[in-house]
Structure 1
Amino acid sequence: MTITDPGVAKTALRVFLRNQRKQLALEHPEADWMIAELAREPLAKLFPNPAGKVAALYYGLGSEVSPRILADQLRDAGWTLALPAVEDAETGHMVFRAWDPAQPLIHDAIGLRAPPPSQPALEPDLVITPLLAFQADGVRLGQGGGYYDRALEALRARKPVFVLGLAYGGQQAENLPHEPHDQRLDAILTEKEYRTVKDMGR
């Protein structure tokens, strides 16, 4: 049976992709170190003076590539750090709150680790996202909540923002189901390489 509805097709894919990512995580236990090292030069070229700029990362869970080493690296380079926080489970409204890695986190409206509401909401210049799969043209398949798509659409309407996906190289795919509202990546960073969507042939 051929699935033609993108939303239904995405749901059908996610179980397979989650299992695939678990296997990739086992095969590449040092991916977080390799990714942080590969990020140094391109991010320094893209943002030569990061003082005052905000980098939004994520709190890695399960088999997601952990951005913690990269977060420490960005903080040492002068970036202000932020983490996503879903404020309303019903609407899926997500903001990026200031993050001090030395301070405890709370659970947001959907149970994910996030800075408390006492931390200010920031507008990132760089958003680093997790994913289940990606294409060379920047299509990103996430967990299915649409939180990043909504937040990035609103953010991109207000200012330039560079969206970088963190993944294992084995998560690249073709013919991923996608919809017009899906927000695309500007670049992808894996344990193998850093590539912009332009370099990947978008």
Structure 2
Amino acid sequence: MTIADPLAAKIALRVFLRNQRKQLALEHPEADWMIAEVARGPLATLFPNPEGKIAAVYHGLGSEVSPHILADQLAEAGWDLALPAVLDKDEGEMVFRLWDRQTPLVHDAIGLRGPPPQALGVKPDLVITPLLAFQRDGLRLGQGGGYYDRALEALRAQKEVFALGLAYSGQQVENLPHEPHDQRLDAILTEKEYIAVNDMSR
């Protein structure tokens, strides 16, 4: 059945996609290692001089692909790391705070763990996002809060930002419902391949 309303279509899809991602996580327990390995070449080409650049990662929840091994790899290459923090659940504002990995993390407005409010707010050059589903043209379906869409829209109004989605290859779909405010990914990284959407070679 085709659902004409994009919002209703997204809601209808999410239950199915969450269950599918749980199954994919069971089938690919080493996906985080594989993704980090696939990322080496493309990220080195896109960002040959990462010193002083900031990469925003996230704490993977449940069946989300974990970016922790990739984060270690980025830090070793010279990136500074940041984590997202939602300031207000109703307003939907999400910011990024520098992550020194020494300071204890706290919970934000929606229960995600990240740096405390006194941590330095930053505008990352690379934003790595979780997702429920993706298309090869960069369309992304998230959890439904719209936090990454708003944050990416605000960042892109100020500077060049590269949005990279982490996913299991099985999360690729066709005809993903979308709305005008949805922010597209510049690339998608799976345990099998790096999918370039935009040519942003430095």
* Partners of 2:87 and 2:108 within 8 A in 1: yes
Displacement after TM superposition at 1:104 (Å)? 1.8
3-state SS of paired residue (1:26): helix
**In structure 2, what residue type is equivalent to 1:37?**
E
Partner of 2:125: 125
* 1:104-142 deviation line (CA, Å, top 9, x unaligned): 211001111111101111001000000000001100000
Partner of 1:40: 40
Is 1:191 aligned to residue 186 of structure 2? no
Partner of 1:49: 49
3-state SS of paired residue (2:101): coil
3-state SS of paired residue (2:152): helix
Indicate the RMSD between aligned Cα atoms, in angstroms: 1.1
Find the aligned partners of 1:62 and 1:113 in 2 and give their Cα distance: 13
Q: Which residues in structure 2 correspond to 1:1-202 (within 5 Å)?
A: 2-198=2-198
Displacement after TM superposition at 1:103 (Å)? 2.9
Find the aligned partners of 1:149 and 1:47 in 2 and give their Cα distance: 23
TM-score normalised according to structure 2 size: 0.96
Task: Report % sequence identity.
Answer: 79
**In structure 1, what residue type is equivalent to 2:10?**
K
Structure 2, unmatched stretches of 5+, are none
* 1:151-188 deviation line (CA, Å, top 9, x unaligned): 00000010000100000000000001000000000100
Which moves more between the two structures, 101-110 or 181-190? Answer: 101-110
Displacement after TM superposition at 1:100 (Å)? 2.0
* 1:32-81 deviation line (CA, Å, top 9, x unaligned): 00001111111011000000000001110100000000001101111010
**In structure 2, what residue type is equivalent to 1:21?**
R
Displacement after TM superposition at 1:102 (Å)? 3.5
Displacement after TM superposition at 1:2 (Å)? 3.6
Find the aligned partners of 1:51 and 1:120 in 2 and give their Cα distance: 18
Find the aligned partners of 2:101 and 2:32 in 1 and give their Cα distance: 17
Aligned residue pairs: how many?
A: 199
Find the aligned partners of 1:2 and 1:192 in 2 and give their Cα distance: 30
* Partners of 2:136 and 2:195 within 8 A in 1: no
TM-score normalised according to structure 1 size: 0.96
Find the aligned partners of 2:8 and 2:113 in 1 and give their Cα distance: 28
Does the C-alpha gap of structure 1 residues 118 and 198 become closer, same or farther in structure 2, counting only changes over 3 Å? closer
**In structure 2, what residue type is equivalent to 1:110?**
I
